[in-house]
Structure 1
C-alpha cells in the first residue's frame, strides 16, 4: 500500500510524524533492565537500533542529547524515512541514520553490526509468528553481549478489542473503491467510534483509548493493521516460546511496575499467588495478562547466556539506586486547601495515598524537569520533628515503602533512569528550548508546535503570535527583559503593556516548563523562578507557590536541593552591609520595643526606598508588619527578601510564616519544614512550627519544636512562652509556671506574656487565693507604670446625665464562634436599645457568621486587632464610650493594658475570665449572684469592686418558666451502669483529680469514666497508665479526642453525670451539660474559678450536687453510681428551687441593665466606688463594703 494513499491536514500529519513512546527511551530501557538484574551499556556512547522507526522521531531526543551515541532507524515505508531524513538534515544531526528497507531484505543482512539497545516497534510489531521468529533471530545476531532488545507487540486477551475495531473499520470501508477511499472511510469510522459509542457499551473505555491511539497511526500503519490483515496478536506464553527458539531470554517489561501483580490491586495479587504458588516467572505474567486484560507488551529480552542474571520479578530495592523525575503539582483549590493528589502536565489528576509518597511527588515536581535521586527524596521527606531513638530507621523504612508504592501506583507517570540526563547537565545561562523543536505548522490563531522532550514524550501546543515571538528568543542567550520586549504590544501605555507582556511570557514559560521543553543551568532556572515571583507579586499568594522550586534550585544536594549554594546564616555579616543600613535596622527595632509602631513603619518604608536591592530592608519591612499585626502585608516583602537572598533559609522562613496568615496552612507547614531541613539552627522557624502543631492540638510535636527553639535561643521570651503554653496544655503546669516566672523576671513589660502566665497560674493546685490575687495585682501595677510613660491625657467631655442613653463599649477577641458569644448574643439581643447603644471592639481577625449576627445588634463595630494600645484608647475615647466592658480578662487576645489608660469613665470586666484583672483602672467586675456568700470571701481577691447580678436564662440552660426538655435519655437506663465524664480542658486536670476519679471507679466497680478533649494518643496513654496503676480497670475508661462542636454536643448522649475539676471548675462545659439535663458534681473552692460549678448547679436548682471537700466528692459520686433513679429523674427534667439565685422569667439583660445604669449614676454623682448587688425581686441595687 502506498504511504501517500491518503491526504490529511498538515496538523494531523505533524502529530503522526512526531509519535514517540517514553517507555522505549534507552534511558528507560536501561533502568528497567537494571530492576530485573541486568546491567547494560552506558548511554553516552551507546549504539541503538530501532526497527519500525517511522519518521525516526521516537529516538530523535536521544540522538540530540547524546551526540556521541550512534542510532540507526529502519522502516519499510520510504515516505516516512524521507520525512525523517529531511528533518535530521535540517537539525544537522550527524549521529542518527535512517534507512528504508523491506522486511525480507532486512532479514538477509549479515553485517549490520552489533547494538546495545534494539527497539522493535511500529510495523514490525504486527508480524505473524513465523516472521516474528525470524526477526528475533536477526536481533539475536546483532545484539551486543550486554545488549537489551525491546519488542513492542499486541497480546491477548486485550487485543480482542483491536479485532472488534478492525471489524468496524472493515465494515465501513467495505464499499469504498481504491486505497484512498478505504483509508478515508476507516478514519471516518474512527471518528464515529470516538464520539458515538454508547455510554452503556461495556467496551467503551477500552475502544475509546484504542481509537485515540490509532488516530495517530500513519496511513501505512493503519492500512496494514486493520485493512490488510497484517496484524497478528499472540499470547505472552507463545511469544516466550518464540524467544526460546531464537536463543533469547525473557527479561521483563519496559514498564516493570506492570509486571508486579500488586500494581493491579491486592485482590489480583492474591489470586495470582494462589493460582501460581511456585512463582514461575512466565506463568505469573500469563495469568496476570488474563487478570488485567492486557493488550500490549513492551518485552525486554537478552541473549540466552545472561539467563542466570535475570531476576524473577523487578527488584524494588533497586528503586533507591535510580533517578526520578516527573511533572507533579499538588492539587489546591482557590482557598489554598490541598488535596491528596497532583495535577499532571495535561491537567489530569493523580491521586496518591500516604503522606510520604505525596511529599515525594511534591519534591519530584519541584525539581522538574530535572531528576532527583533517592537521597534527595529521603532528605526532603524526613520528618523534621520526631521522638525516639529509632526515628531515622523508621523514616528509612517509610521512605522505601513510599517509593515502592509510588512505583506501583504512579509508574505510568514517573520517569526513572540510572544516571543524570540532559536536563541535569544543561549549562545555558538563560533558559533555552530543548534541542529539536523545529516542527511548526502555521494556524490561523498563531502557531502549533509538535515536538518531543528528552524523556521522549510527545508534546503538542497551540501558541499565540506573541508567544511564538518569545519562543524565538528562548535560545540561552536572551533573558526576561528581551522576552518581555518581544511580547509587548504597542496599543496601550508603556507600563501596562510591559505588565501584560510579562504575564504573556510567564504563561508561555510555564506551559513549556510543564511539558519539559526548557532546559538551562541552575542560574537559568533561578532567573525563571525569580521572574515568576516578581511578575505575580500583585498576587503574592500565587507568587509564593514558586518558593519551593526556587529553594530546590538554589541549594546544593547536601541541603536537599539540586543547585550549588550552601545556606547562609543571617548572623554572618556581609561586606556589603552598610553602616547606615545597620543603624536603620537598630532604630526600627528600638521603635518597635517602645511600641511606636507607626514610627517604625515609616522608618521601614524609608529603608526599602533607600535600599531596594538589599534583602535586609525588605525583611525588616516584613518584621514591622508582623509586629503591627498587618498580616495581609507580610508576604510581599518576605518574597522580595527571598528573591534577593535565596540562599538564606531565614527568608524562606519569613515566607512560610506569611503563608499562615493568608490561611495557606499546608504551604505554611511544608515550607517551615523544608526551611528547617536546610538550616536547623533557625530558632524562630522551630517556634513557628511548634505553634502550627499546637494550633492542631498535636502537643507532643509542638513541645519538641518549642524545646528545639528554646535550646537555640534560650533568652527569647516569646519562644519560652510558647514552650510554657505547650507544657500547660500537657498538664505540666508546674514546669510551665517555672518558665513564665523566668520570663516575667526578665521582661516584665511584655504584657501579653504576663497574661499568659496568669491564665496558666489559675490551673495551679498549689497557689492560695491570696497568692493568686497578688500575682494579678502586680500585673495591674506594671500596666499602670507603662501607661504613665505615654503622654496620653484623656478627659471625659460627654454628658453626665444619669438617665441618658448610654454608649456601652464591649471589647473582646471572642466576638465570633466562641463560648463568650454564646452568652453575650442573647444579652445583646435583649438589651434595651432605647437606653443603651452597643459599640463593639473586635480584637480578632476572624469575622464569622456569629460575628455577623452580633454586629446586627451594634451601633458601631470596629476591628481593632491592628491598633496599638494608644491608638485604641484614643479611638474608644473619641467614640464617646460611657462604660467599657472587657469580655476577655487574661485570656488570649485581651487588651487589658490599654484599659490602664482609662479611655472610658466607667470600666468593667465580665464573663471572659474567672478572676481579677489586677488593673485598678477597671472599676467593676460583674459576677453572678450565686458567688455571693456571707462572709464574702471573694471581695479580697479583686482590685475591682464587685457587682453581683442574679442569673437569667442567657445561656439557654432552661426554657422560660420551667425545666428544659431532655435531648436524650440517661444512658444508664440501657447500659445498666453510670457513665461519669469530664469534658473540661486537660489544663484543668491534675493528679489529685485523677486519684479522686480512680477511687470513685474502684468503689463503684461497674461505673465508667469518659474523659474528653484529649490532645492525642500520648496524653491518653499517660492518663490511662496512671489510672490503671491506681486500680482502675481498662474497660472502665473511655477517651475522646478533641471534637468539633457537633461531635461535642452529640457525646452528651453517652454521659449520665459530669465530674467537675478542681481547683479550676468548669463553666461553659457544665452549662452545656445542663442543656442536656446532665448535672455536674462539683467541689466548692475558695476562688471564683473554684466556685463556677457551684453557681451553675444552684442556678439550675440542683444544690445537692455541690460538695465541700474531696472526701464528700468521692462519696457523693459513689452514691450516684448506686442510685440511677436520681440521675434518670434529673434527666427527665426535675429541678429544685432557684428562688433568689436565678430568675428565668425576666429578659436575659434585665439585671445587667440595672447594673450598668447604677454604675453610671454613681459615676455621675461622684460616689466613691464600692461594690453593689442587684436585687433578685425588683432589681434594686444595694451597696456592700469591700
Structure 2
C-alpha cells in the first residue's frame, strides 16, 4: 500500500497493525510530520511501514507497483502541474489489479466554498498578523451563519461550507490539516479526463450509494436516464452532480487496462457476498412512535421505527467489533419476523442500505482482523489492542476509526493489568482487597471493571473469539459470585457465540431425567403450579444435580429461588441454565427479572432484550423486558413491551397486572384504571390486580369519595370476606397491665422515604410495656434494616411465607395487636390480616387511607385528615390522634435558605410530587396561577420525570393552556434539598395530596397551597399545615386555590417571614413531638386492648 499525503501516518497505522504481512509506504512533503509518524511506528513496533519525506512534484520512482494507493486530502491542495504529476505517478505505480483512492473538491457544490473563501480574503485583506487574519476570517463567517437572507438560493450550501471554515479557524483544528483557503476544485468530468491521461479508469465512489440516482427520487432518476442515454457512466455521474450540487467526491480508480472489467452500474446484489460490522449501541428509547436511537462511539447514529433495522443493529452490536456474514443476518430476520428467504432478503438489503446511508456500518469481503481466532496454548485469549495503552500515539482501532477514549486513573490501572494477561477472577480478587496498584478502592460488584470492558468493546479495542470473551466474563462472574456487573456483557457474549453457531432459538433436545425420576419431576411441576416454592426447590436441586442438562429443572430452581427472595442464588442458577441452554429464552427471562429485582436494571434490560430476540413471539419474553425497563422508569418503552406481550397473549397475567402499574407510575391515571379493570375482570382472584385498581381509583380526579370507597368494599367482598371462615377465637391473656405483644407488618424495613415517620416511633417504644415483633416482607436487606432490627424483640422474615403460613405464625407468636404499615401498596400482607390472626388489627402510616378490610379494626388518623362525619368512608373505626405521625428530618437536608424571589426578581412555585397526582384539574389550576402571576416560574421535580418523554408530555399540557415551557423546569434531582431551596411557594396536588414531600417542604421553609377534599389522603396537606401553624394556606375550592397562590406571591415580606420561622414552628408542633406521639400511640394501644378484653368478657 502507498499512502500519498500520509501526514504523521495516522491513517495508515490501523492497516499496518491489522495486516502485519502487508507492506506500507507513506509519503508526505512535511519533514516534521514524517518524523512524528516515524516515532509512532517505532513505538508500535511496526516493521512493515516505511515513511518518506518527498515533494509531490518529484516523487521517487524506485518503489515499484502497489496493490492500493491512497491519496486523501491531497489532490485539491496541489498546484495544477503537481496534481497532474501525482496522477501520472499513481497510474504508473498502480499494479494491474490494483485500486487507487483519490478524494477531491468538485463543482458545482464547491462554488459555495469559493464564495466563502473570497469573502474571507476580502474581509481580511488588511490583516498584518496571523491572529488578525483569523479574527477577521471569523468575523466574515458570521455573514453566512447569522446574516444570510432567507431567500438566498444557496443558503444551505453556504451555511455548510461556513461550518467547515469555522472548524478550520477553531483552536482545536490540527495545524497540519489541509487549508481550505488553498483548495481548488474542478468538475468531475474534468477529473475523469485528467485521470484518463494518466492511464486510469473510473471504477466508482467509495460512498457507493451516492451514485444511485433512484435514492434521490423518481424525478432525479428518470431525468438522469433520459439525458444520458448511450453515455458512459462518468457522464451520468456528472449530471447527477449537477442535480445534487455535489461538492466532494471519494473516487476509486483502476488501471485503464481494466476499464472493460468495471461494471457500469451499482450492483447491490453483491451485498450478500460481504461481511458486516457496526458499533451502534441502542440508547434509551422514547416510544414506538419515535422509534429507537442508536449511536456509535464517534457520535454517528440513526433513529428508526423500522423493526428490521433494529434487529440487524442489535445483532451486529452483539458481535462488535467482529463482523457477521450476510447469511447470519438473513437468518436472524427470517426468525424474528417469521418470513421466507425472499422476503427476508428484501428486508435485509433495505436495512443495509439504510445503515450505509447513515455511514454507520463497515463491510469487508474477507474475515476482518477481529474475526481471526487467536489462541494461546489450549485456552482462548482476549487480546487488548496495544494501541490504546500508548499515550503518545493517536488512538485508533482496526476498523480505521479514530479513538478518543478518556479513562479514569483506576481504569488505566485495570487496563494495564488486563493487557498484562491478568484474568477477571484475579482482577476482582485484587479489587476486593483494595490493592493500591489499582489506584482505587474497588469492591467485587464495582462498575469500574465492567465499564472498562464495555468501553474496550464499544471502541473496538479487543480482539477475541466469542468463546474467549465468554470465558473471560464467566470467570469474573464466578469469582464475584454473580455480584460483578458483567451480566449485560455476558449475555451479549453468549449471543455472539450462539449467532456464530447458528443457534437463533432453543433447539436443544431437553434432556429428561431417568424414568425413575419422572415421578419427582412431575411432583416438582405440580408444586410450581401451586406456587409452593419451598416444596419445589429441594426437588429441583436434586434433579439439577442428577441430570444437569434437564433445563426444566433449572428453570424451576431459578423460579423458586427468585420467588423466595434468594436473589443471588437465583442469579447463579439462571447462569447455569444459560450455560446448559444458551439459546433458551427462559434462562434470559429468569436472569433478567432477578437482576431487575436487585435494581441492576441495565444488565436486566440486556438479558430481557435477548430473551425477546430468541422468542420474538412470546409474551413472557416481552413481559420480562417491561419489568426491566420499568426499573429505570422508561415508561413509554415499558408500556410498549407489555402491550406487545398482550398482542401475543391477550390474557397474559403478568403483563395485564404490570401494565397497570406502569401506567400508574407514568401518571396516566385514566389508562391505568382501564387496564386495572381489564386485569380484575380477567383474574378476579389476583390481589395485585385489585391493588392496582384501588390505587388508580384513589388518584382519579373525577371520582367522589363514595365512589372510591365502594371500590374498596368490592375488593373486600371478592378477596377477603371469603376468608372469614378461617377466623378462630383468640385465647390471648386478658390480664390487666401485662406486657402487650405488638406486631408490625411491613415491606419497608429498609431504606425508604417513609423512614422519617416511623423510625423515631420504633426507637422510643416502651420496651418494658410492649414486646415488639417485626414481620419483615423483604427480598433484600440494607444498613437501615440492620438498624431497625435493634428496635424489635423479634424479627421474622416473611417473604417465604404464604398468607396462610404468616397468619399461623402470628397466631403462634401470641400477638395481641397487629399493625399494618403498607395498606394496598406493593408487598402488603393483607391476605394474612384477612385471616384475623390477632385479637386487634390496625392500619397506620404506609397507605394513609382505608384498607376496605372488614377484618381490620382501627385506622390511626388525626381530626383534620378524618373530620367528624366521614366515618362511613372507612371500613375501620377511626382512632384520632393529635398528629397522624411524628417527623424526624433527614440530617443531610441542611439549612433553610433565603427567599429566592428576593434575588430572582420573580416568584418560583414548585412541587416534588409524582406524576400520578398531577392530573388535568391540577394542571388547569396551576396554569391559571401562572397566568395570574405573569412573571412566576414553576418547578416540577420528581422521579416521574427522569424520562424526557414524560417531561415533554407534561410541558405540552401546560402549553395547551397558554403557559410556555420556558416558564417550567421539569426534571429530577436527588436529594431534592437544593431544589426546595430554590422554591418560594409550594403547590400541593388534589384530590390526592402529596405525602412525604410536603413535610420536607415545610421543614425547608417552603409553605404550600393545598386543597382539602376527600378524607383522608385528600386532606393530608391541610393537616400538616394546621400543625405547622399555617391553616390559612388551606383552600376549599380550586378558585380559592388560585386566588390564595396569587395573593401569597405578591406579599414577599410575609413570605420571607414565614420561610425563616417555619422550621422552628414545626419543631415546636405535634409534627415533631416524637416522645409525645409515641406515648399517645401506646396509650391508644392499651385502650384498644382493654376494650377488646371487656368485649370478650
Give the equivalent residue in structure 2 for 1:171: none
Q: Residues 1011, 898 of structure 1: CA spacing in aligned structure 2 closer, same or farther, 3 A cutoff?
A: same
Q: Tell me what 1:800 maps to.
A: 734
Look up the match of 1:418: 365
Other-structure match for 2:900? 971
Matched residues in 2 for 1:864 and 1:926: separation?
24
Say if 1:1004 and 1:1118, in contact at 8 Å, map to a contact too.
Answer: yes
Q: Distance in 1 between matches of 2:675 and 2:250?
A: 56
**Cα distance, 1:662 vs structure 2:** 5.0
Which of these residues, 697, 722, 745, is aligned with residue 811 of structure 1? 745
Distance 2:992 2:477 in 1: 53
Q: 1:720 to 1:920 in 2, by over 3 A?
A: same
1:276 matched to 2:180? The reply is yes
Superposed counterparts of 1:459-478, under 5 Å? none
Change (3 A) 1:648 1:1144: closer
Question: Quick check: 1:682–1:709 contact (8 Å CA) kept in 2?
Answer: yes
- Going from structure 1 to structure 2, the CA distance change for 1:236 and 1:958 (only over 3 Å counts) comes to closer
For residues 925 and 671 of structure 1, what CA distance do their matches in structure 2 show? 43
* Distance in structure 2 (CA, Å) of the matches to 1:1083 and 1:461: 62
- CA distance in structure 2 between the aligned counterparts of 1:1145 and 1:940, rounded to whole angstroms: 31
- Structure 1 residues 122-151: Cα deviation after superposition (integer angstroms, max 9, x where no partner): 7xx689999x999x54543x65xxx33799
> Equivalent residue of 1:1149, what SS?
helix
1 CA distance for matches of 2:514 and 2:632? 42
8 Å CA contact 1:642–1:651 kept in 2: the answer is yes
Q: How does 1:523-538 map to 2 (within 5 A)?
A: none
**Counterpart in the other structure of 1:990:** 919
The answer to whether 1:567 aligns with 2:512 is no
Q: Give, in whole Å, the separation in 2 of the partners of 1:725 and 1:825.
A: 28
Residue of 328, 348, 371 corresponding to 2:323: 371
CA offsets 1:1055-1111 (integer angstroms, 9 cap, x no match): 222222211112222211111222222222132111111211111111111222223
State yes or no: 1:24 paired with 2:24.
Answer: no
Alignment-derived partner of residue 1040 in structure 1: 970
Tell me, what secondary structure is at the counterpart of 1:801? coil
Q: 2 CA distance for matches of 1:786 and 1:529? A: 55
- 2:816 corresponding residue in structure 1: 882
Q: Residues 306 and 719 of structure 1: is their aligned pair in 2 closer, same or farther, counting only changes over 3 Å?
A: same
Post-superposition CA distance 1:551-609 (Å, at most 9, x none): 22223xxxxxx332342599xx9898999999977765653454433233345345545
Cα 1:579–1:1080 change in 2 (3 A) is farther
CA contact (8 A) 1:952 1:1143 kept: no
Q: Aligned partners of 2:982 and 2:419: how far apart in 1?
A: 64
Counterparts of 1:43-192 in structure 2 under 5 Å? 121=49, 137-140=61-64, 147-148=67-68
Q: Distance in 1 between matches of 2:196 and 2:380?
A: 36
Deviation string, structure 1 residues 393-427 (Cα, Å, up to 9, x no partner) = 999899669976xx9xxxxxxx9843236996999
**Residue aligning to 2:878:** 946
Distance change (3 Å), C-alpha of 1:22 and 1:789: farther
Q: Which residue of the other structure, out of 966, 982, 998, is the alignment partner of 1:1070?
A: 998
C-alpha distance in 1 between matches for 2:418 and 2:858: 73
Is 1:624 aligned to residue 624 of structure 2? no
The one of 772, 778, 788 equivalent to 2:708 is 772
Q: TM-score, normalised by structure 2?
A: 0.63
Give secondary structure in 1 for the equivalent of 2:781: coil
In structure 1, the residue matched to 2:605 is: 669
1:830 to 750, 764, 768: 764
- Aligned-partner SS, 2:851: coil
CA contact under 8 A between 1:993 and 1:1062: conserved in structure 2?
yes
Closer/same/farther in 2, CA of residues 609 and 816 from structure 1, 3 Å limit: closer
Looking at structure 1, the residues matched to 623 and 23 of structure 2 have their Cα atoms a distance apart, in angstroms, of: 43
Contact residue 511 and residue 550 of structure 2 kept, 8 A: no
Residue 918 of structure 1 pairs with residue 849 of structure 2: no
Aligned pairs (5 A) from 1:544-555: 546-555=490-499
CA distance in 2: counterparts of 1:551 and 1:633, whole angstroms: 23
CA distance in 1, matches of 2:1074, 2:469: 71
Residue 777 of structure 2 corresponds to: 843
Structure 1 gap segments, 5+ residues each: 1-19, 34-52, 60-118, 152-234, 282-300, 331-349, 386-390, 408-414, 435-453, 468-513, 556-561, 1169-1186
Cross-structure match for 1:198: none
Q: Are residue 1028 (structure 1) and residue 959 (structure 2) matched? A: yes
Q: Output the CA distance in 2 between the equivalents of 1:660 and 1:1001.
A: 40
Does the residue aligned with 1:1113 lie in a helix, a strand or coil? helix
Distance, in Å, in 1 between the alignment partners of 2:1057 and 2:496 is: 67
Residue 904 of structure 1 pairs with residue 851 of structure 2: no
Which residue is equivalent to 1:1093? 1021
CA contact (8 A) 1:780 1:918 kept: yes
* Secondary structure in 2 matching 1:814: coil
Task: Find the counterpart in structure 2 of residue 748 from structure 1.
Answer: 684
Residues of 2 paired with 1:394 and 1:1155: CA distance? 73
Superposed CA deviations along residues 332-383 of structure 1, whole A, max 9, x for unmatched, are: xxxxxxxxxxxxxxxxxx98768999999997796489533699899999xx
Matched-pair contact (CA < 8 Å) for 2:510–2:550 = no
1:493-540 deviation digits (Å, cap 9, x = unpaired): xxxxxxxxxxxxxxxxxxxxx999997xx9x88997999799889759
The aligned residue for residue 1037 of structure 2 is 1109
Cα–Cα, structure 1 residues 244 and 129, in superposed 2: closer, same or farther, change >3 Å? same
Q: Give a deviation string over 1:874-916, Cα, whole Å, max 9, x none.
A: 4334444332211111112111112223333322110111211
Deviation at 1:322, TM superposition (A): 7.0
Does structure 1 retain, via aligned residues, the 8 Å contact 2:510–2:551? no
Query: Could you report, residue by residue, the CA deviation over 1:926-970 in whole angstroms, capped at 9, with x for unpaired residues?
Result: 112433534x21x212222221111288215899xxxx9971222
The corresponding residue for 1:1159 is 1088
**Cα distance in structure 1, aligned partners of 2:651 and 2:1086:** 48
Measured in 1, the distance between the counterparts of 2:348 and 2:1048 equals 51
Q: Rate the CA distance shift 1:921–1:265 in 2: closer, same or farther, 3 A.
A: farther
Aligned CA distance change for structure 1 residues 1001 and 589 (closer, same or farther; 3 Å): farther
Aligned residues: 838
1:598 paired residue number: 534
Going from structure 1 to structure 2, the CA distance change for 1:787 and 1:607 (only over 3 Å counts) comes to farther
Residues 1157 and 1147 of structure 1, relative CA distance in 2, 3 Å threshold: same
Structure 1 segment 353-752 matched on structure 2, within 5 A: 367=319, 371-372=323-324, 417-420=364-367, 546-555=490-499, 562-568=500-506, 588=524, 590-605=526-541, 607-608=543-544, 611-661=547-597, 663-752=599-688
Separation in 1, partners of 2:1002, 2:473: 59
Match of 1:930, SS state, is coil
- Residue 155 (structure 2) aligns with: none
- Measured against aligned partners, the alpha-carbon deviations of 1:665-719 in whole angstroms (never above 9, x if no partner) come to 3222123223323432232222222223322222122212221122222112221
Go from structure 1 to structure 2 and tell me whether the alpha carbon gap of 1:526 and 1:855 turns closer, same or farther (over 3 Å shift): closer
Which one has more relative contact order, counting CA pairs under 8 Å at least 6 apart? 1
Specify the SS of the correspondent of 2:775: strand
CA drift at 1:630: 3.0
User: What does the per-residue CA deviation read over 1:143-197, in whole Å, with 9 as the maximum and x for residues that have no partner?
Assistant: 5xxx33799xxxxxxxxxxxxxxxxxxxxxxxxxxxxxxxxxxxxxxxxxxxxxx
Paired with 1:1054 and 1:378, the residues of 2 have a C-alpha distance of 56
Paired position in structure 2 for 1:290: none
Change (3 A) 1:280 1:1056: same
Rounded to whole Å, the distance in 2 between the matches of 1:360 and 1:666 is: 21
- 1:1019 and 2:950 matched: yes
Secondary structure of residue in 1 paired with 2:849 = coil
Aligned to 1:1054: 982
Per the alignment, residue 75 of structure 2 pairs with none
Q: How does 1:220-259 map to 2 (within 5 A)?
A: none
